[in-house]
Amino acid sequence: MVGTSLALRLKETIRGEVYANEPMWRHTSFRIGGPADVLVVPKDTEDLVVLLQALADVQAPFYVIGAGTNLLVVDEGVRGVVIKLAGTLNGVAREGGNVVRCGAGTHLPALCRKVASWGLAGLEFASGIPGTVGGAVAMNAAAYGWSMCDMVHSVTALTYGGERVVLGRDDLEAGVKTTRVLQEPLILVETQFLLREDEPRAILGRMREHLEERSRKQPLSVPSAGCAFKNPAGGGAGRFIDAAGLKGTRVGGAEVSTVHANFIVNTGGATARDVLLLMERVRDAVYDKFGVVLEPEIRVLGG
């Protein structure tokens, strides 16, 4: 069933937003990507369960995204349904003690500011990571030696069949930029964080330091998807790319950032093909020069 007819059917079934043939560049921080047959933003978790049932009935393939800040969507777009959770499922509540319950679609920097105002520390490292809380926990996003799963008490997720499961931190099997949520895969709908008390001013001070460092070291005014490659053993990926003399290398509208060598930026009109060719060129040059294999950190969607 193609975009328009599937979208019409889903509009009759769920309460959330449904778009046919939706350009994915509008939903990624890279500002790159062809159309998804259908893009859906469910109203809440119950709506998501109804959606999963409807998709199972018509056997439509689907993909879950948060805010698309770690994604490269290919130029041909996505066949099937993209379920976008940014901006929905977004409640934040303080529970007893130092536990905070947070919906998967919540903007991560907003969560960090909120818990800081409550005098709860632990998420300062994440205050400059764009994207949703669900995406960050699913990917075990990391910075400054900390990663999201360090702060997780438990998560609630849905199987692709719509069944609810609760996983403790150890059940997440967190690794470098991965968790069981991505491997199975599951859809994360809520996370409980276990934080610690501290002075709001001290917490906000640490957040400010991290944000200032990011604005000095990262190309934040141009579209990107963050670091293009995972750090290999033996050093930061950016160091190897810089030492290979690749800063400023371009393919079409894609460029190895002159500010941070591990960022590929869209200087305007870059296609996904440009980015993939540039990543290949960078990977080959670093391997030829240092014998180091770079693995992509950006996740490719569609095709």
Ligand X SMILES: Cc1cc2nc3c(=O)[nH]c(=O)nc-3n(C[C@H](O)[C@H](O)[C@H](O)COP(=O)(O)OP(=O)(O)OC[C@H]3O[C@@H](n4cnc5c(N)ncnc54)[C@H](O)[C@@H]3O)c2cc1C
Out of 3, 16, 134, 302, point to the residue binding ligand X (CB under 6 A): 134
Tokens of 250: 């371009």
Please, which residue, 65 or 275, has the CB nearer to ligand X?
65
55 binds ligand X (CB under 6 A): no
Please, which residue, 179 or 285, has the CB nearer to ligand X?
179
Report d(CA 28, CA 66) in Å as an integer: 9
Nearest residue to the partner ligand X, using Cβ: 66
Q: How far is the CB of 221 from ligand X (least distance, A)?
A: 10
Please count the other Cβ atoms lying within 10 Å of the Cβ belonging to residue 168. Answer: 11
198-221: burial string, b at 16+ Cβ within 10 Å, e else: eeeeebbebbeebbeeeeeebbee
Residues paired with residue 61 on neighbouring β-strands, in sequence order: none
139 binds ligand X (CB under 6 A): yes
Tokens of 111: 């969560």
Helix axes 200-217, 108-117, angle to 10 degrees: 150
Out of 55, 73, 129, 151, point to the residue binding ligand X (CB under 6 A): 129
Q: How far is the CB of 108 from ligand X (least distance, A)?
A: 7
Please, which residue, 8 or 300, has the CB nearer to ligand X?
300
Q: How far is the CB of 17 from ligand X (least distance, A)?
A: 17
Report d(CA 79, CA 302) in Å as an integer: 7
From 292, 188, 275, 169, select the one nearest 226 (Cα to Cα).
275
Q: What angle do CA 284, 141, 296 make, to 5 degrees?
A: 15
Out of 38, 42, 69, 240, point to the residue binding ligand X (CB under 6 A): 69
101 binds ligand X (CB under 6 A): no
Which region among 32-40, 180-188, 190-198, 202-210 touches ligand X (by CB under 6 A)? 180-188
Report d(CA 97, CA 239) in Å as an integer: 42
Q: How far is the CB of 136 from ligand X (least distance, A)?
A: 3
Binding flags for ligand X, 205-234, as an x/- string (CB under 6 A)? -------------x-x---xxx--------
Contact (Cβ atoms closer than 8 angstroms) between residue 227 and residue 294: no
Q: Return residues touching ligand X (CB under 6 A).
A: 29, 64-71, 85, 104, 129-132, 134-136, 138-139, 141-143, 181-182, 187-188, 218, 220, 224-226, 299
